[in-house]
Amino acid sequence: MPNKNTARRPWMAGALLSCLGLLGLSGQAAAQSNYPNKPIRMVVPFARGGLTDTSGRLIAEQLSKRLGQQVIVDNKPGASGNIGTQMVVSAEPDGYTLVLGFDGTMVINPHVFAKMPFDTVRDLAPVGKIGDAVLILVAHPGVPAKTLREVLDLSKKQNGGLSYGTSGTGGTPHIAGELLKMRTGANLVHVPYKGGGQALIDVIGGNIPLVYTAIAGAVQHVKSGKIHPVAVSSLQRSRALPDVPTFIEAGVSDFDVSSWVGIMAPAKTPRAIIERLNTELNAVLADPEVRERLNQLGFAATPGTPEKFGEEIRRDLNRYGPVVKAAGIKAE
């Protein structure tokens, strides 16, 4: 006959495991409820000083105030943002390592790089979108075309087409230009630069007829008359240049291409932490002073849910793939 004490052991062992499991769960819940209790690192996968970095530092500064812990910006540039992003993908999913997501890295790189060190949808969790950077097509004043329709017609008539400069191969302005070609049949020839600043210098100097760039860098030159604005590729007109029509108003239907930035975390980051970060980010973006500072950088603040941000990421991944393939764009 089995010893009574021996018979109890499986039950006792099961109860002990259950208690340990509950203790583990309660420990995790306590850690999440106390979040954050130490500094948070936000990796910016680009060099210091650009628009992406500047917008990230602004948000980090404001989040630090609301979270009661410092959000430290850590620049880790390389491979068009892939290196810094991969570091975050490999980090512990505890809410203490985040990445400033840029559309070029998250939704364009997967199509232009032969091998990617991460999967945007599988390996990262959207926290929230910060804002859209409005893009603008500008021309040298000597170009004999002022409206978008005139520019497109001139490109088809002119031998060799019209060249347009951008900040580089595979960037959002490049994708926007190729999408414009696909939608309109325009004869536009891409000229990549190592940064939008040099491209603007060349269009001002008359070395290139067109440049597709972020509106922030072009505003002062448009207002001074050094370059002529053709159209902006956002849904609404830009507050910075309210007299410039959108591509949709100029006759290209459903043409909404903006460069965006947002915050992402490693996959499997607890939902409670994602929601806390999203709540605080949205509160920061609702601040009129922050919105104005972002506007000065060329970004329109876009508060929203993690789900909405995730939907946009998947949408852009799907719509940019065919453009990259048709244009034969490859990472340099």
pLDDT digits (tens, 9 = 90+) for 46-61: 988 878 889 999 999 9
User: What ranges in 77-195 are assigned the alpha helix state H?
Assistant: 82-89, 103, 109-112, 120-123, 148-157, 172-184
Tokens 């000229």 locate to 191
* Overall domain count for the chain: 2
User: What ranges in 124-256 are assigned the alpha helix state H?
Assistant: 148-157, 172-184, 196-204, 215-223
- The pLDDT of residue 23: 56
Considering the domain architecture, whether residues 123 and 162 belong to the same structural domain is answered as: no
Note the pLDDT tens digit of each residue in 312-330: 999 999 999 999 999 999 9
- The pLDDT of residue 115: 94
Total-model pTM: 0.83
Residue 55, in any domain of the structure: yes
Tokens 């048709």 locate to 326
Hey, which bits of the chain come out as E strands?
Answer: 40-44, 71-75, 97-102, 124-133, 135-139, 162-166, 188-192, 210-214, 228-232, 259-266, 299-301
Considering the domain architecture, whether residues 263 and 318 belong to the same structural domain is answered as: yes
- The pLDDT of residue 216: 85
Q: What is the average per-residue pLDDT within 207-215?
A: 95
Q: State which residues form the domain around 140.
A: 135-232
Q: Residue 113: helix, strand or coil by DSSP? A: coil
Burial of residue 233 (CB within 10 Å: 0-12, 13-18, 19+) is buried
Helix, strand, coil percentages in the chain from 3-state DSSP, rounded to 5: 50, 20, 35
Considering the domain architecture, whether residues 275 and 128 belong to the same structural domain is answered as: yes
Residue 30, in any domain of the structure: no
Output the domain CATH number for residue 273: 3.40.190.150
What is the pLDDT of the chain when averaged over all its residues? Answer: 90
Residue 17, in any domain of the structure: no
